[in-house]
Structure 1
Amino acid sequence: MTGPEPAPDANQRAVDPADLVCVERQLGRPPRGVAEVAHRCFCGEPDVVRTEPRLPDGTPFPTTYYATCPRLTGAISTLETEGVMKEMTARLADDGELRAAYEQAHQHYLAKRSELGEVPEIAGVSAGGMPTRVKCLHVLVAHSLAAGRGVNPLGDEALAMLPDWWVPTSCAAIHATEDAAADRGDNARG
């Protein structure tokens, strides 16, 4: 018996090649299994991608919403180091209303992933610790950005705690400056 068939290369879908170049620059590596840009930063660049549930190499990948912007992910990482996840997990144990809303977020996440395909190895598994704990604010914030406020209560809370990661200079402006500097360097060598 052979392993699971690899998913079609999602990069061959109707994802704008310029967005894939931007995401590669953000991640420092080629993106894998991108189905679409799920959210754009205020500067216009992608900051969350929606990823296929099975990567092109056949690996199951439960993280449907993946934050890509380094400034966004850095701000989220700061929240994680401040103990926000532990506090949120404790609140889940004590607050039935929050727990029910978080369960609904989990179901929404699973439904949105199933639109992209079914992967038996990750059936029923969402991401970020849903529905019983909080283990990754990156996933929860990415879910909130992609789905909009009101879908993931803890993602919304974490998002509200973040500074405006797109200021004082937009990511697009930073990349344009970097690209111009690289072009000047290429011209000087050429």
Structure 2
Amino acid sequence: MEAQLGRRPRAVREVAYRCPCGLPAVVETSPRLEDGTPFPTLYYLTCSRLNSKLGGLEADGRMREMTERLAEDPDLAAAYRRAHESYLAERDAIEPLGTDVSAGGMPSRVKCLHVCVAHSLAAGRGVNPFGDEALDEVGEWWKPGPCA
């Protein structure tokens, strides 16, 4: 993970998803850092190649487009709200932070595709609609081999 991130990872509880190449791709983190600081990002993407591909989607304006669709599609908005509620329930089962803030802008906007994708990979398809969508768009990121 250090090679993937270029730094030592913080508050890691376990590997939540392994890339088909065998390396960790998503880690589950503690709701608080070692010093007690709240850390609401439960699932953290470690794969540098996937991070880069998602950065490209973000640069292309995908998050703005997704957020606009939330206002236009009540079924999509409901699915994204369920993703938010799932995220909170999973995090609160470890340690409640006393907040309804999850991560990545959920449930009202898409602020970070990395969070959505990490959630989709850790929880499985069908939980986070925007994570699933971004994964479909980036395709088989692992094909060239390990990222680190």
TM class by smaller structure = over 0.9
Among residues 83, 91, 107, which one is paired with 1:105 in the alignment? 83
Among residues 36, 47, 65, which one is paired with 1:69 in the alignment? 47
Q: Report the Cα distance in structure 2 between the residues aligned to 1:99 and 1:78, rounded to whole angstroms.
A: 24
Q: Report the Cα distance in structure 2 between the residues aligned to 1:52 and 1:170, rounded to whole angstroms.
A: 26
Question: Which amino acid letter does the alignment assign opposite residue 119 of structure 1?
Answer: L
Task: Give 3-state SS (helix, strand or coil) of 2:3's partner.
Answer: helix
Query: Mapping of 1:142-181 within 5 angstroms?
Result: 142-171=118-147, 175=148
Cα offset, 1:119, TM superposition: 1.7
Compare CA radii of gyration and give the structure with the larger one: 1
Task: Give 3-state SS (helix, strand or coil) of 2:44's partner.
Answer: strand
**Which residue of structure 1 lines up, in the alignment, with residue 30 of structure 2?**
52
Cα offset, 1:169, TM superposition: 2.3
Question: Which amino acid letter does the alignment assign opposite residue 145 of structure 1?
Answer: L
**Which residue of structure 1 lines up, in the alignment, with residue 111 of structure 2?**
135
- Aligned alpha-carbon RMSD (Å): 1.0
Taking every aligned residue pair, what percent have the same amino acid on both sides?
Answer: 62
Gaps of at least 5 residues in structure 1 are 1-22, 176-190
- Greater share of helix: 1
Q: Report the Cα distance in structure 1 between the residues aligned to 2:27 and 2:64, rounded to whole angstroms.
A: 26
Q: Report the Cα distance in structure 2 between the residues aligned to 1:169 and 1:154, rounded to whole angstroms.
A: 25
Q: Provide, for residues 107-142 of structure 1, a one-character-per-residue CA deviation record: whole Å limited to 9, x for no partner.
A: 00001101211123xx10000110000000000000
TM-score, length-normalised on structure 1? 0.76
Runs of 4+ in 1 over 4 A off after TM superposition: none
